[in-house]
Amino acid sequence: MDKPLLEKIAFNVIQGRVEAEDEGFDEGLEGEPAVTELVKDALKDGIDPKSILLDALTESMEVVGEKYDRGEYLIPDMLASAECVGVAMDLLSPYLIKAGVQTKGKFVIGTVAGDLHDIGKNIVAIMLKGAGYEVVDLGADVPTDRIIEAVKEHQAPYLGLSALLTTTMRLMGDIVEKLKEEGVRDKVKVLIGGAPTSQEYADQIGADAHCKDAFQAIDLLKTMAS
């Protein structure tokens, strides 16, 4: 295993550098190879794609999560690092599939109808990809029927719902009820998130969990899978 190369990938994820021309948090990095170039080099060198995923991407995002919790990183900083992971996962996916690395399951995610906010949802989606889930991202302002259709079509064991408005978060309850009507509620774990939501609200509408951020979502999924 080329540890220095994996360490460079991890370092650049933490720096939020997707490509060589990107600046980082530290000075003097512009022009140096970033995540895109380094992941390509690692694959060219025959480094196990699973090692790149676990030892570079997953570990680096744990560091980013710790920095966010300490207030050292803000949401844009976390989003930059998450974008690095998203780009790396696009490069790694064909290799992971070829290597027979099993996904942890399909995860349908979307922002409910009437709500155009998607930054938090995007971070969660990228983090889920990096954690080994097959993500079906429906985007923002997604009608209830489209969400139900996607859960059924993909036979997804997980559904993530996001809302940033008190007026739109009420639709989360409607979606849970619709899942019951369609006879699939017991086949899918429903996780909700967004500024106005809470664990109390999740309990109230019958969702399985509330996630305050992407890192908690990953932690909760580990618990659900065990």
pLDDT at 98: 87
Please say whether the beta carbons of 75 and 119 come within 8 A.
Answer: yes
State the greatest distance between any 2 C-alpha atoms of the chain, in Å, as a whole number. Answer: 57
* Pair of tokens at residue 89: 């996962």
> How many other CB atoms are there within 10 angstroms of residue 134's CB atom?
17
Tell me what the pLDDT averaged over the chain comes to.
Answer: 93
pLDDT at 226: 65
For residue 101, give every residue at least 6 positions away whose Cβ sits within 8 Å of its Cβ, in sequence order, or none. Answer: 49, 50, 53, 132
Q: Cα–Cα distance between 223 and 205 in angstroms, integer?
A: 21
Please say whether the beta carbons of 75 and 82 come within 8 A.
Answer: no
Q: Give the domains, in start order, of the chain with CATH numbers.
A: 3-98 (1.10.1240.10), 106-225 (3.40.50.280)
> How many other CB atoms are there within 10 angstroms of residue 45's CB atom?
9
Please say whether the beta carbons of 188 and 154 come within 8 A.
Answer: no
Q: pLDDT tens digits for 199-215?
A: 999 999 999 999 998 88
Helix or strand run (H / E) with residue 111: strand 106-111
Average pLDDT for 63-69: 90
Q: pLDDT tens digits for 159-186?
A: 999 999 999 999 999 999 999 999 999 9
Average pLDDT for 58-86: 90
pLDDT at 2: 62
Checking if the pLDDT of 198 tops 80, the result is yes
* Pair of tokens at residue 118: 């998607």
With cut-offs at 50, 70 and 90, classify the pLDDT of residue 103.
confident
Q: Give the rounded percent of residues in the chain with a pLDDT score beyond 70.
A: 99
With cut-offs at 50, 70 and 90, classify the pLDDT of residue 111.
very high
Please say whether the beta carbons of 65 and 75 come within 8 A.
Answer: no
pLDDT at 1: 47
Q: Which residue has the tokens 């009437």?
A: 114
pTM confidence score: 0.83
Distances (CA, A) of 25 to 12, 21, 33, 194: 10, 13, 15, 27
Checking if the pLDDT of 218 tops 50, the result is yes
